[in-house]
């Protein structure tokens, strides 16, 4: 099963929050506020503490390379694979698909983080990551403008983590992460010339496309960036109408950028859209965190969004459950619930153990279980761990997540769940072939 994965892949520099280290960096006059962009280390700390205080996640762009270097020098880091497309490609490769990854800035370190089953186009051929990095390194020696690997700064915090600030303390009410990004490659959604030409020539050989990273586009440039990328995706769909395309949202710099993208995606049209609860609120014209945590509001908002955009499917992944609203036809109810379960299991395994290849925890998230039970009381039918409700031509499915009590990882869980769900859905659509 051949799947396009685009656009961002990078190295994540991960910092696990330690209260004393953080407190020592906080200026006495600093106000806690979520900034629109990061122009200094103080802006970073202000935004990070806001997210800790709320238990929320965010991704904000760093304004300059100098600020990025200051942040890099201020904390201790562990390095792992990052970028929505890179993370999803690794999950798909582990599950048995052949993901074809856009990797415009691929070095030896990043290549070593990718699954050996991931394929990178180079000069009309598909290569494993290590070999592709070697070939591209030769290209970079010839090309003065070639891109180098990008790093994103990821700050993970857990429920109960504390940071002292002046005479008070901030305590995180839940696990989450804050990401600070200086990445001129992925911000522009740059695609490799090798990737572009390969996909254009062999698009009829692809079963699906898993696309993400649009949230990184800066406000001043997003219209031109989207114009180029939408044209590329339209060309794929035009040459291969059967390709199943899912687009995953993210934390956009501005609600205006997200709304502009959603209207463009509806015109391709893509088949499936994925969001978390904060992104769903933004799509509804609300501020992140303003949607009620109750499943009923999530369901109704997802249904409105799917209908207004004319999409086959909209899925919302939250900490407690995954919910999807889809039309009848391409996937049976049983297949969709199986896909959602695979997604929640993969995300829980990554959170609890650091790897999707290990066993997931067994305990069901109690809030997710409560949502399922209420869903059934409102007419839904229970099937295994999940439940579904069919109304006319639309089917809503809900799958509680599993509980990782002491998570090792909090970043990439949504991408992991999305990739695992997509793999199972695509197998069902294509007749259960690998």
pLDDT digits (tens, 9 = 90+) for 62-76: 999 999 999 999 999
d(CA 215, CA 218): 8
The residues of the chain that CATH labels 3.30.1110.20 are 10-82+124-181
What percentage of the chain has pLDDT greater than the value 70? 96
Tell me which of 247 and 158 has the higher pLDDT: 247
d(CA 136, CA 339): 36
What percentage of the chain has pLDDT greater than the value 90? 82
pLDDT at residue number 385: 96
Q: How does DSSP classify residue 128? A: -
Tokens 């992925």: give the residue: 186
Tell me which of 113 and 175 has the higher pLDDT: 113
| pTM for this model (two decimals) | 0.90
d(CA 313, CA 111): 33
For residues 25-43, give the mean pLDDT. 92
The string of pLDDT tens digits covering residues 287-325 is: 776 676 789 999 999 999 999 999 999 999 999 999 999
Quickly state the pLDDT bin for 142 (edges 50, 70, 90): very low
Quickly state the pLDDT bin for 253 (edges 50, 70, 90): confident
Q: What are the distances in angstroms from CA 179 to CA 12, 113, 206? A: 9, 19, 32
Q: What angle do CA 422, 342, 335 make, to 5 degrees?
A: 70
Residues paired with residue 71 on neighbouring β-strands, in sequence order: none
Cα 19 from chain centre: 27
Quickly state the pLDDT bin for 432 (edges 50, 70, 90): low
pLDDT at residue number 168: 87
Tell me which of 18 and 90 has the higher pLDDT: 90
Q: What are the distances in angstroms from CA 297 to CA 334, 370, 422? A: 24, 15, 24
Strand ranges (DSSP E) for 104-240? 120-122, 125-127, 151-157, 162-165, 168-171, 176-181, 208-211
The string of pLDDT tens digits covering residues 193-215 is: 999 999 999 999 999 999 999 99
pLDDT at residue number 140: 52
d(CA 211, CA 102): 10
Answer whether residue 431 shows pLDDT above 90: no
Q: Give me the chain's average pLDDT, please.
A: 92
The secondary structure element, H or E, covering residue 314 is strand 313-317
Quickly state the pLDDT bin for 21 (edges 50, 70, 90): confident
Q: Percent helix, strand, coil in the chain (nearest 5)?
A: 40, 25, 35
For residues 372-393, give the mean pLDDT. 97
Tokens matching residue 261: 């993208």
d(CA 256, CA 222): 10
- Structural fold of domain 10-82+124-181: Adenosine kinase, small domain (3.30.1110)
């Amino acid at each position: 099963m051949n799947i396009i994965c685009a656009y961002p892949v990078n190295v994540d520099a991960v910092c696990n929050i330690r209260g004393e280290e953080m407190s020592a960096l906080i200026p006495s006059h600093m106000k806690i506020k979520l900034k629109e962009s990061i122009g200094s280390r103080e802006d970073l700390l202000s935004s990070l503490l806001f997210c800790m205080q709320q238990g929320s996640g965010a991704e904000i762009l760093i304004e300059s390379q100098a600020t990025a270097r200051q942040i890099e020098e201020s904390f201790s880091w562990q390095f792992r694979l990052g970028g929505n497309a890179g993370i999803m490609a690794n999950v798909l490769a582990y599950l048995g698909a052949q993901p074809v990854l856009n990797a415009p800035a691929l070095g030896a370190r990043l290549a070593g983080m990718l699954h050996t089953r991931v394929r990178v186009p180079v000069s009309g051929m598909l290569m494993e990551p290590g070999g592709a990095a070697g070939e591209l390194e030769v290209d970079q020696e010839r090309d003065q403008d070639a891109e180098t690997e990008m790093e994103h700064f990821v700050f993970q915090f857990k429920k109960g983590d504390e940071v002292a600030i002046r005479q008070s303390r901030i305590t995180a009410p839940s696990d989450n992460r804050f990401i600070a990004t200086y990445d001129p490659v992925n911000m522009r959604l740059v695609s490799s010339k090798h990737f572009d030409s390969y996909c254009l020539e062999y698009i009829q050989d692809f079963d699906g496309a898993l696309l993400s990273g649009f949230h990184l586009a800066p406000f001043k440039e997003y219209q031109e960036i989207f114009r180029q990328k939408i044209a590329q995706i339209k060309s794929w769909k035009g040459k291969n109408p059967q390709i199943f395309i899912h687009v995953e949202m993210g934390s956009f710099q501005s609600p205006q950028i997200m709304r502009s993208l959603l209207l463009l995606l509806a015109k391709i049209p893509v088949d499936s859209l994925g969001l978390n609860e904060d992104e769903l609120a933004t799509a509804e014209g609300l501020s992140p965190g303003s949607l009620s945590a109750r499943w009923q509001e999530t369901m109704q908002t997802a249904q409105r969004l799917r209908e207004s955009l004319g999409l086959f499917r909209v899925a919302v992944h939250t900490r407690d459950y995954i919910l999807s609203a889809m039309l009848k036809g391409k996937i049976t109810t049983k297949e969709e619930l199986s896909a959602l379960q695979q997604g929640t299991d993969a995300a829980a395994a990554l959170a609890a153990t650091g790897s999707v290849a290990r066993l997931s925890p067994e305990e069901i998230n109690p809030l997710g279980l409560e949502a399922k039970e209420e869903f059934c009381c409102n007419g839904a039918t229970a099937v295994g761990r999940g439940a579904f409700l069919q109304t006319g031509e639309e089917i809503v499915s809900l799958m509680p997540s599993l509980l990782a009590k002491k998570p090792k990882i909090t970043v990439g869980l949504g991408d992991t769940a999305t990739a695992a769900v997509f793999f199972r859905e695509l197998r069902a659509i294509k007749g259960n072939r690998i």
